[in-house]
Structure 1
């Protein structure tokens, strides 16, 4: 499988469909050919009040940091019909029970300055999030806990490649009954006209942009992605415990990239995650038979991420032979 990448960055490991790189993504992006990527799906470090071990920019500098280092290159490497999906959490203003607008400011800059189109916004609701900020939620009790991330689906063109037939959800009991007994077509009080086509069994319901995840199953309610993100045991985590290495502390749940990879790409398309972390995106893309590349600046995260694909007893070199 050919990857038209600069030889300056040899991959740390290679799988059947993908390659993981350890390097500064701002530099790595410049080596990728223009219009070579079908989908970029990522969860960059958020702008948080407290610094995290994996590194994150301050709220005041975040938007300029992302725009100046990544935005134009992300646009350049996408194919004309390609998409950029960014999971980005909000934060609070330091010392005050009010919210920062940085993630909205980033969206506006990406669209107005760089030229991306906002294809659709999604919401990831994590019911297992801690009740924070503690000062405002559990001490003064003047706010509820912050448990929702926005997920921006941005496209390079006004007509991005997408197919919601690949992400249909099971019909609810009420819909199954309607399909069985017949649909009452015609105008509704709201003015919407329900045609006879609404009574056709298409094998599942078109999901809204509220994604609702429970463990490994996906159900959708409106435009919210509900993902508890409480997984404490999988192949990657087991390997980290065995090796005595620290797992990435901010892994995003596999259901999130899975939804967008299935929705926005076909088998054989190329998926890229410029903030690869523990390579969740790569693992999902591998299972879905999409080609993938990830770049991550922290070598410990890249080295441990290979155990999503390889057994502890074997090395990537052994797997490639």
Structure 2
């Protein structure tokens, strides 16, 4: 990247200690196949990794999004994970992330390819005032993931993210199904009995890992707070700060498989502990990551066997 020296690099990618906006401006136009990121959310209290208020958030992020649209290839995608929140002082929900989505589409010209949701059962029951003290609201367990694209026809194939068929489907395939019409009016054809497609089409709720790398001590890790993964263990052993808001590997993995092919370029401008870069590396995609925190980037080296 002209004007920037990598903080570290691997066979497939480079991580930069830099202001994300300045780095994005240095990326050539029409050169990145996928941007997948989770920027700091708009919260009532300041986090150590930096965040702006809901009143400022939309205009703050649109500056980054303009550059993201510029650097995407025509068939590229922009995947944005963003959490919702309650309004300050009352048990009602903020619309800031939906306002951002509308601006991304209406003002910047992105297309909304699909809305997806990250199911994270490890989320804390907050705000405590409404959820655990007054007991008038329930715990949040999902976060929005907006899949946006430069054109209406981004590169994508759900064949790359098929899930294993369930026991019911396998039994149905073996038994066979007669032609019928459901009460909803859908025609069920006899050809429905074939399972030759290689797996079932996943839903728009991301809730389970797609590889063994997200299995720790025989247990599936759906959230982002594992205390036993190699990154966390090595951070503790070396006295380095663990990033407090980490991507679960299953999230970037799903979209990297769905939206890119081997050799494509994946970029995360708010890399944090660089889960995106590590997943892209394992899947044979080239990657670019940036963050403005040296301690977090230093610790992110532990995600790679060789830096």
TM-score, length-normalised on structure 2?
Answer: 0.93
Q: Which runs of 5+ in 1 are unaligned?
A: 219-225, 317-321
Shift of 1:172: 1.2
- d(CA) in 2 for partners of 1:188 and 1:213? 30
Match of 1:221 in 2: none
2:243 is the alignment partner of 1:253: no
2:44 is the alignment partner of 1:71: no
Shift of 1:197: 3.5
- d(CA) in 1 for partners of 2:305 and 2:299? 10
Deviation digits for residues 236-276 of structure 1, max 9, x if unmatched?
Answer: 21221122111111001000000110111101110000101
Q: 1:80 aligns with which of 71, 74, 80?
A: 74
Match of 2:89 in 1: 95
- d(CA) in 2 for partners of 1:133 and 1:284? 32
2:151 is the alignment partner of 1:157: yes
CA RMSD of aligned residues (A): 1.7
- d(CA) in 1 for partners of 2:187 and 2:109? 35
- d(CA) in 2 for partners of 1:215 and 1:228? 13
Match of 2:22 in 1: 27
Q: How many residues align?
A: 299
Match of 1:223 in 2: none
Q: Is the 8 A contact 2:120 2:207 kept in 1?
A: no
Where 2:78 maps in the other structure, the secondary structure is strand
2:306 is the alignment partner of 1:304: no
Shift of 1:217: 6.6
Match of 2:218 in 1: none
Deviation digits for residues 8-35 of structure 1, max 9, x if unmatched?
Answer: 1111111011100110111111111111
Match of 1:178 in 2: 172
Where 2:279 maps in the other structure, the secondary structure is helix
Shift of 1:90: 0.5
- d(CA) in 1 for partners of 2:101 and 2:126? 24
Where 1:114 maps in the other structure, the secondary structure is coil
Q: Which runs of 5+ in 2 are unaligned?
A: 214-220
Q: Is the 8 A contact 1:267 1:289 kept in 2?
A: yes
Where 1:20 maps in the other structure, the secondary structure is strand
Where 1:39 maps in the other structure, the secondary structure is strand
Q: Is the 8 A contact 1:78 1:156 kept in 2?
A: yes
- d(CA) in 2 for partners of 1:53 and 1:308? 22
Change (3 A) 1:215 1:85: closer
Q: 2:235 aligns with which of 224, 234, 240?
A: 240
Deviation digits for residues 261-319 of structure 1, max 9, x if unmatched?
Answer: 011110111000010101000000000000001011111111111121146xxxx4xxx
Runs of 4+ aligned residues of structure 1 deviating over 3 Å after TM superposition are 214-218
Q: Is the 8 A contact 1:282 1:294 kept in 2?
A: yes
Q: Is the 8 A contact 1:125 1:147 kept in 2?
A: yes
